[in-house]
Amino acid sequence: MSDLPDSWSRPSLGDVIDIQGGSQPPKKYFIEKPKAGYVRMLQIRDFKNDNNPVYIPKDKAKRWCEVDDLLIGRYGASVGRICTGNSGSYNVALAKVIFPRNHIDRLWIEYYLRAPEFQRNITTLGGRAAQAGFNKNDLASMNFPVPPLSEQKRIVNKIETCFKKVDATDEALNKAEVLIGKYKEALLAKAFRGELVPQDPNDEPASQLLERIRTEREQADTGKKCKKKTEFTLITDDEKPFDIPDSWQWVRLEDLFSVQTGATPKRDNQIYYRNGKIPYVKTGLVQNCEIHSSDEFITEQAVAETNVKVFPVDTILVAMYGEGKTRGQTGILKIEAGTNQACAALVNTQLDSTLREYVLEWLKFRYGVLRDKAEGGNQLNLNLEKVKKFVMPLPSTRQVETITKKIGTHQAQINALETNLEEVRSHIKMEQASVLANAFQGKLVDQIESEGTGHQLLEEILTEKAKIEAAKSKKKKTSKKAKKKTRKKKS
């Protein structure tokens, strides 16, 4: 923290605030519906949405917060996250900030906690803080600027005025993102309905393209032309999501690809992993992108002795398992790699690259539909059969090329727009950081002598704190004496 105005004090954070970590009973006490005698147990996720509430017996709740209290995330990716706006008991992943409200403006300390300097400090406490959770000693030595209370309020008002302009810009960006998303959706909808490019009656029908693909696959499988051809599975009208041109044809992914999956070599057998050279891809890398590398490798022995397979370059992967947005996402291998059983692999080395790109665009377009086909109890997953039977519209070879090129042209324009939006967002964040930096350096408003000094305010805070500590100590001694007296009477 740089030089402050002479009228400000700069105590350590521990001199002014206290941090109270959360608590929670064993999970056997958790219920998911409100009930008499139970209270809400707040977790970090509850400050994002209200989709998964948890309740615990009131007599098991040890830590409490009110709607206007400030809490800090203590672990992992949520370290430093500032949470407010809910009341109830809070769990061990949160810590409550306790401060003298008659001396420190609530928004002053909230903006301080959200400011880049505090966030940098808390996220650089080290791996121990991220994993085990920080404690109040980790924060106690941080500098905390204290101006007079009236000046705190003036600075907060100035911050809020500046941020209103930022919020208006941010709202406009959000609307622009929605419009871009709708445009992209409409573009792909037209493309896959055959409405994006003109239909040419001289184009060969999709049935001929499909027949060639089938023949190529059969020849690749047998090394010679097959006499008996496999019949395609009938696609019912109920499976067709919309109408397509007469020359097009609805097909299943298994009509175009050999749909396979991988496996996980036993984790406790290091022979399968140590010094491995074969890239091993899991669903975390399947993020609607090209896959050029892997963070894990397996050995030739793993391939020889287990069900894991090495798939060729240009294999399309579909994530069948995964929480969040992972399930249903796609990727394309740009390296030879093995995968685990959570990935479906769409293999056809003879398939034209443009048609492969067309298939990828279709899978991205129908991402939500594919995800919704998942089944299961505790965790919803896709399976190989669901992926194999997934339908898509197939046009002629020329139409595939024209449509894919047209999508690519529009996608380049969309990407440019999205890049511009990200640049504006980045600029907004820099502006916010600049406002907060100036605020906590005393540069946002003028100092007014009649408002007093932060040194005087700090003295009042420390005096009040000492009185509270003395009262606690006296109460503790009185309690000990009473217990001792009770024991003597009983004896």
Name the phi and psi angles at 200, rounded to 5: -110, 120
**pLDDT at residue 127 in the model:** 55
With vertex at residue 66, the alpha carbon angle to CA 65 and CA 72, rounded to the nearest 5 degrees, is 50
**pLDDT at residue 227 in the model:** 45
pLDDT in tens, the chain (491 residues): 568 999 999 999 999 999 999 999 999 999 999 999 999 999 999 999 888 899 999 999 999 999 999 999 998 888 999 999 999 999 999 999 999 999 999 999 999 999 999 998 888 775 555 555 688 888 998 999 999 999 999 999 999 999 998 889 999 999 999 999 999 999 999 999 999 999 998 999 999 999 999 988 888 776 554 444 555 778 999 999 999 999 999 999 999 999 999 999 999 999 999 999 999 999 999 999 999 999 999 999 999 999 999 999 999 999 999 777 899 999 999 999 999 999 999 999 999 999 999 999 999 999 999 999 998 877 889 999 999 999 999 999 999 999 999 999 999 999 999 999 999 999 999 999 999 999 999 999 999 999 999 999 999 999 999 998 888 888 777 777 777 777 666 66
Sequence-separated (6 or more) residues with CB below 8 Å from residue 162: 431, 435
| CATH code of the region 204-395 | 3.90.220.20
**pLDDT at residue 351 in the model:** 93
Name the phi and psi angles at 175, rounded to 5: -65, -40
What are the residues facing 278 on neighbouring strands?
298
- Each domain of the chain, given as residue ranges in start order, spans 1-145, 153-202+398-446, 204-395, 453-491
Which CATH homologous superfamily contains domain 1-145? DNA methylase specificity domains (3.90.220.20)
**Burial state string for 313-332 with b = 16 or more CB within 10 A and e = fewer than 16:** ebbbbbbbbbeeebbbbbbb
With vertex at residue 159, the alpha carbon angle to CA 154 and CA 160, rounded to the nearest 5 degrees, is 95
- Reported in sequence order, the residue ranges of 141-295 that DSSP labels E, i.e. its strands, are 249-252, 258-261, 278-281, 289-291
In 3D space, the residue among 7, 1, 52, 61 whose CA is nearest the CA of residue 29 turns out to be 61
In whole angstroms, what is the distance from residue 256 CA to residue 261 CA?
Answer: 16
In 3D space, the residue among 370, 469, 358 whose CA is nearest the CA of residue 404 turns out to be 358
Could you tell me the maximum CA-CA distance found in the chain, to the nearest angstrom?
108
pTM exceeding 0.85: no
Q: In terms of DSSP H, where are the helices of 335-396?
A: 353-365, 367-371, 384-388
Q: Is 90:63 a contact under the CB 8 Å cutoff?
A: yes
In whole angstroms, what is the distance from residue 282 CA to residue 286 CA?
Answer: 7
227-264 pLDDT, tens digit each: 445 557 789 999 999 999 999 999 999 999 999 999 99
**pLDDT at residue 479 in the model:** 73
Domains 1-145 and 204-395 share a fold: yes
Residue 342 gets the label, from left (phi > 0), alpha (psi -120 to 50) or beta, of alpha
144-172 pLDDT, tens digit each: 999 999 999 999 999 999 999 888 999 99
In 3D space, the residue among 245, 173, 254 whose CA is nearest the CA of residue 205 turns out to be 245
Coil, helix or strand for 95?
A: strand
